[in-house]
Amino acid sequence: MESKNFLDFLPTNFRHEKSFFIQNNLTDFKKLSNLSDLDINEIQRKSPLCTLNNLKKIRAIAIFKKEIEISPPKAYLLLHCGIGSIKSLSLCTPYELERKIGRLERILRVKTEADITFALLKKWIKKAKQIYNSF
């Protein structure tokens, strides 16, 4: 049985980025969270099929995983709700975040399988505020 790595949750539209990271042994979320904009531009230069948008999303998901311990699928959900950084998460209220997730579910006409409670949202926001205020 193949062991799971950080990139396994990515949908198929990330196949080029996933392939590049696997070939270059960049499957650890800690390494991915430390990618700079310069690194991302270099990856895009080396592998033109990798898109800037997807590379930045992967980095944001890795940062959420590393700093706030949000699982990759839940971090991906946050990105779809317009929350792409620790700063943007720290500026939200649990009510706003719950509303954004609900709006996304209504637009997509699906109920997310993520078990996201109001208490969990509060915990994420509190941790994001602590991290953002420590800068």
Phi first, then psi: what are they for 62, rounded to 5°? -65, -40
Q: Is residue 68 classed exposed, middle or buried when 0-12, 13-18 and 19+ CB atoms within 10 A define those classes?
A: buried
The pLDDT tens digits for 62-118 are 999 999 999 998 999 999 999 999 999 999 999 999 999 889 888 887 776 668 899
Place of tokens 């700079």: 36
Note the residue count of the chain.
135
Summarize pLDDT for 111-125 with one digit per residue, the tens.
Answer: 766 688 999 999 999
- DSSP run (H or E) holding 80: helix 72-80
Question: To the nearest whole percent, how much of the chain has pLDDT over 90?
Answer: 75
Tokens representing 96 are: 């706003």
